[in-house]
Chain A
Amino acid sequence: MSLDNDLEEVVHEFLVESYENLDQLDRDLIELERDPKSAERLGSVFRTIHTIKGTCGFLGFERLEGVAHVGESLLSRLRDGRLLLDADITSGLLAMVDAVRIMLARIESEGNDGEDHYPSLCARLEALQEEVAASARPAPHEAESMMETGSPREETPFSTEEEMSEIETTGVATPAAPLPVATERTFSEELEEGRREGADPEVRSSGGVAESTIRVDVHLLDRLMNLVGELVLSRNQVLQHTQQRSEAGLAATAQRLNLITTELQEGVMKTRMQPIGGVWGRFPRVVRDLAVTCGKQVDIELDGRDTELDRSIIEAIKDPLTHVVRNSIDHGIEGPAERLAAGKSATGRLRMRAFHEGGQVNIEISDDGRGIDPEKLRERAVARGLLTHEQASRLNDREAIQLIFLAGFSTAEKVSNVSGRGVGMDVVKTNVERIGGMVDVQSTVGAGTTLRMKIPLTLAIIPALLVTTAGDRFAIPQGSLLELVRLESDVAKRAVETIRGTRVYRLRGELLPLVDLKHMLRIPQESDTGSEAVNIVVLQADGRRFGLIVDAINDTEEIVVKPLGKSLKALSSYAGATIMGDGRVALILDVLGLGQEVGLVGRSHDQGVGAQARTPGEAGEAGSGDEAKATDAILVVGVGETGRLGLSLSAVDRLEEFPAERIEISGGQEVVQYRNDLLPLKRLADLLGNSLRASSDGEGAGVLQVVVCSRDGESVGLVVDRILDIVEENIELRRRLSQPGLLGSVVLQGKVTDLVDVGTLMDDLASDTPTRVAA
C-alpha cells in the first residue's frame, strides 16, 4: 500500500466533502442574510470553513488555507456578535466561497491549489472585519458589544460605489428583528459548541444522518440499474414462456420472480433518486446575484426540496430551470418603484414548488410580477412574422401566452446584440420534452406568471406502446401517446381523406395529419394493402398532434431504454433501442424527431428533398452521399412572407438598422454611409426571386434590418425583413440549390431554411457587377 495512494484518497474525500459543504454554504449565507443572527446557520458556516481550512493545512494547500483563514476570521467576528452580517459581508463571503471553489477545482484537475493568493479578496475580507456594520443597525440588545470595535462602514475604502448601491437596491439586508434574550443565550452556546466541534474535523461527520447513510459511487448505481434492466427483460421472457405452459409450480415461481423483480427495480431506482433540493440549492444564490444586477428585490421560496427525481433527469432539467428563473426575474418581477406604484410590496416573490403527482414530478415556478400580456404577444408574433394577423387574432389568451415557446420568439431581442445567450423558452420546452416532460404557462397581467413542468421520474425504464410495421417492431414512449384509433377497412376508405397528397383523418371534427410509419422510415412497401384496416397511433410532439399509421398495435410494456451508438445518433427518428421479451432488439421511436420530420414532410419539398437525399447511393455506400454535415451557429433571418434564410454566424459582423431614407445610389448600387465608408447593400429577397419580394417594400420599408458581413476589410450589408433567431445545431444539407448565392437547403427548427453563401455574394460585389435581379 503506497502512501501516495492513501494521500490521493484523502484528497479525494476532502474534495467530495468540501463540494458538498460549499453548496450548503451558499444556501446558509443567503439564509443568513435574511436572518443574520441565526445561530445554527452561523455555526454551520463557521464549521464548514474551519474544516476546509484545517484539512488544507494538513494536506499542504497553503493558498487555499490562506483564503479560508481570512474568511474564518471574519466569520468568527460574526459569530462573536461583534459584527452583524449585511449585504456587503455576504457578498464578500460569497466571493470567498467562489474562490475556494475555483481552488478546489484546481486541486481536482491539477493536484495543487494554483498560484493565486487572492490578495484583493483577502484584503476585502480583512477590511470587512474592521467595520462595525452593526452600529448602523438598530439592535438594542447588542449595543454593548458593538461599542468595542472599529470605524463606521462608510469610511472603509473597499466599499466601492457599486457595492453601496448594491446594498441600497437589494434590500435583502433588512434590519433583523430583535431577538428574544433566550435565543441570544442559545446563540452563544451554539457558538461555543461550534468552536469545539470545529476544532476537530472528524466530529462533523459523526452526525446522526451520517451514520445511516453511505456514499456510493454513481457508476456502481448505473451498473446496478443496467443489471436490473436486464433482469426486467429476463423476467418478461420467463413470463412469456410460462404463459405457453401449464405447470403450476412454474407459474407460481414465475409469479414470485415477477413480484421480486418489480420490487427490486423500484428499490434500485430509488437509490438513484436525488432530492431536487440539490439543484434548487443554487437558486437562492442565482436569484440574489441576478436581483442585484437587475436592481430588483426578490425573495425566493422553495417548497418540496425533498421531492426526488432520477439523477439523469435532475441533470436534464438544471438548465431549463435556471433559464426560467432568470426569465422570471429579468422580465417578470418589476423593479421596486414599479411594484410600489402597482400597490405591491417592493420585494417580489419567486416561488418554486416541486411535488409528486400521478407518477410524475410537477415543478412550478411562479412569480408575482407583471405577468404576460397576451395582446402584446400576439402583436409581437405578427411583427416577427411567426403568425399572420388573422391567426393571431384567432388565438385565445391562453393560447397566446403559449407563444413564448415558439422558436424565434423570445430570443429575438437578444439576437440584436449578437452576443446574446441564444436560449429562449423554446429551448426550455424542447429540453423538457426531450426527456418526456411537458411545459405549460399561465399568467395574469399584473398578478404574475406560473410555469409548470411535468416530468417523468426516470428515463431508464419507461412504459411504451409496441407496434409492428413491415414485420419490424417499434416502441413508442407512452408519454407522447394520446390515443389509438382503428378504422376497419370499409370505414377507412371513406374516413381517410387526402389534401393535396397529405392524408388526414377527421378525429372528432378536427383534421389529424396522418403519416405512414413505413413511409417515414422508407421501408419499401411490399404490397399495396389498401383493403386492410388502418391502425392510427395518435401522437403529440411539441404541441402538434399527428397520427402514425402502423400495421399492428401490439401491447404496452415496460421497456429498458438503451442508447444507440454514435453511428446511429444522427438519426433523429430513434430515441434508442430496447430488447423485447423474445430477445430481439426493437427500436424506440423518437416522437419529437418524427414530429419534426412530419413538419418537413408537410411542406412543399416532400418528395423532392426526401427521396433525393436518402436514395441509397451507388456501390452500397452510405445513403447520405449528397449530405454534408457540420455544426455551426446560424443566424436565421426572415425574408418576405415566408422565406427563411440562414447565414453562418462566423460571417456576420454586426446587425444594424438603417432608416430607408439613408439609402443612396452609387454606380447603380444601393449603398448607405456607414462608419465613414460606403456600405453596399444587397437585398436578400432578390436571391429568392420576385415571388417573395412583395412585403419587403411594404410594411417594413421605414427601417431596414441589415446584417453586416465582412471579409478582408470589405463589408456588405444584407437587407432582410426580420432577424429571427440564432440556431446552433448539426446542420445537414438536404438539398443543394443551383441558384447562385445559396448553398442549399437545411432543416432548422423543423423548418426548411436556405443557407446563404456569403462568400459568393461578396465575390459578386467585388467583381463589381450589379447582381440585382429585380429591376
Chain B
Amino acid sequence: MARQYATYYLGDEYFGVEVKQVQEVLRYQEMTRVPLSSPVIRGLINLRGQIVLAVDLRRRLGLPDRPEGTLPMNVVLQTDDGAVSLLVDRIGDVITVADEDFELPPENLRGVSREIVRGVFKLDGALLLVVDPARVLDFERRAETLAA
C-alpha cells in the first residue's frame, strides 16, 4: 500500500509525518513564550482563534538551535490534545511512499532519536525518517524516565 507523507528538513536530515495527521503547514508565526515550561515548548501560536502549542523539533531531538535570524516553519498536526505545531527548518514536498520501503530504525540509533523515530523509508538517494507525533509530545514522561 502506498502512503503519503508530508516532508520537512532539520538541517540536512529528511523527516516525514503522515499527511492525514497534518492540519496545515505555515510560515513562521509569532509566538508567545510560556515561562516555566519545558525548553522544548517554544510558545503558543494563535491559529485563527485556535491556540496551538509550538514544539521545537530541534530541541526535542537534542540538535543545536537554529542560527540566530533563521525563522522556523510550522507543521501543524492534529493530536488528541488539540493542534500542535512542530517547528522545523524547511518544508519539503508531499511524497508518496510504498510500504515495502519501510524499515524499523537501525539498532544503533540511540537516545532521543530512537524514541521518536518510528522507522525509515528507503527512498532514491535519501532516507526519510518517520517521526511519531505522539512520542514527540511525550517529553514530560521522558524527563521522568531520565530522572529515574
Q: Which residues of A contact B (CB under 8 A)?
A: 229-230, 233, 472-473, 521-523, 562, 564-568, 570-571, 573-574, 577, 579, 583-587, 614, 616, 619-629
CB <8 Å contact, B36 and A573:
yes
Hey, which chain A residues are within 8 Å of B106, CB to CB? Answer: none
Do B143 and A622 touch (CB < 8 A)?
yes
- What is the CB-to-nearest-CB distance from A420 to chain B, in angstroms, rounded to a whole number? 31
A-B contact pairs, 20 of them (CB 8 A): A233-B49, A473-B32, A522-B35, A562-B51, A565-B84, A567-B53, A567-B81, A567-B137, A571-B36, A573-B35, A577-B32, A577-B51, A621-B38, A621-B40, A621-B139, A621-B146, A622-B38, A622-B142, A624-B147, A629-B144
B140 interface residue (CB < 8 Å to A): yes
Q: A579-B46, A626-B147 are in contact. Are A587 and B36 (CB under 8 A)?
A: no
Contacts of A521 in B (CB 8 A): 35-36
Is A579's CB under 8 angstroms from B38's CB? Answer: no
Which residue on A lies nearest to B137, using beta carbons? A567
B39 within 8 Å of A (CB atoms): yes
Please measure, in the bound complex, the distance between the C-alpha atom of A579 and the C-alpha atom of B46, giving whole angstroms: 7
Q: Is there a chain A Cβ closer than 8 Å to B126's Cβ? A: no
Give Cα A521 to B84, complex, Å: 23
Contact residues on B (Cβ < 8 Å of other chain), bracket:
20 to 34
Contact A565 B82 (CB under 8 A): yes
Contact indicator A628/B144 (Cβ below 8 Å) = yes
What does the 1/0 interface line of B3-42 toward A look like (CB < 8 Å)? 0000000000000000000000000001111111111110
Q: Which residues of B contact A621 (CB under 8 A)?
A: 38-40, 59, 62, 139, 142-143, 146
A-contacting residues, B54-76, CB 8 Å = 59, 62, 65
Contact with A along B130-148 (1 / 0, CB 8 A): 0000000101101110111
Scoring A472, A567, A571 by chain B CB atoms within 10 A of each residue's CB, the highest score goes to: A567
CA distance A574 to B33 in the complex (A): 13
Given contacts A585-B46, A625-B147, contact A568 B39 (CB under 8 A): no
Q: Does B44 contact A (CB under 8 A)?
A: yes
Does B45 have its Cβ within 8 Å of any Cβ on chain A? yes
Taken together as a complex, chains A and B put the C-alpha atoms of A574 and B49 apart, in Å, by 19
**Is the beta-carbon distance between B39 and A620 smaller than 8 angstroms?**
yes
**Which of A473, A566, A623 interacts with B38 by CB under 8 Å?**
A623
- List residues of chain B with CB within 8 A of the CB of A522: 35-36
Asked if A568 and B144 sit within 8 Å, CB to CB, the answer is no
Known: A565-B84, A587-B32, A625-B146. A579 touches B39 (CB 8 A): no
**Please, which residue of chain A has its CB at the minimum distance from the CB of B64?**
A620
The answer to whether A567 touches B41 (Cβ under 8 A) is: yes
* B41: A residues at CB distance < 8 A: 567-568
Other A-B pairs, 10, CB within 8 Å; known A233-B49, A565-B53: A573-B36, A577-B32, A584-B46, A587-B44, A614-B36, A620-B59, A621-B40, A621-B62, A622-B39, A625-B146
- Docked-complex contact B36 and A565, CB < 8 angstroms: no
Inter-chain contacts of B38 with A (CB < 8 A): 567, 621-624
In the assembled complex, the CB of A464 is this many whole angstroms from the nearest CB of chain B, namely 15
Of all chain B residues, which has the CB nearest A473? B32
